[in-house]
Structure 1
């Protein structure tokens, strides 16, 4: 356990917020144009997948925030 604060946590949170806002804006801007004519069930699946995809790199990012190593 670390006993002193590290700069990586506040910087990591800011990076995460900026990245999620950018991701959401890109999805909100471009995806409706691509799938707007699809059946609502297929649109739901696409949005569910896109809503979960951002979680894939999150584990490594959180490990970096805590330890400084991207393992």
Structure 2
């Protein structure tokens, strides 16, 4: 399953980040988003807009294209 399939308010554990661009992966790692952590989807914007994720009290926006490449497991 990928992050773009997650519903609003659902929590998931990041399983694999290897399919995303290295620059984006580095940026996510700078924010503490790595394999094994749990995130919650706060908001999805319409028309394949950005996803707003909550992680440890931080709100982080990522593009739909990147969310479709991040593998997750629902919690």
Higher helix residue share = 1
Structure index of larger Rg: 1
TM over 0.5: no
For normalisation by structure 1, the TM-score amounts to 0.25
- Tell me the TM-score normalised to structure 2 length: 0.24
Structure (1 or 2) with the greater strand fraction: 2
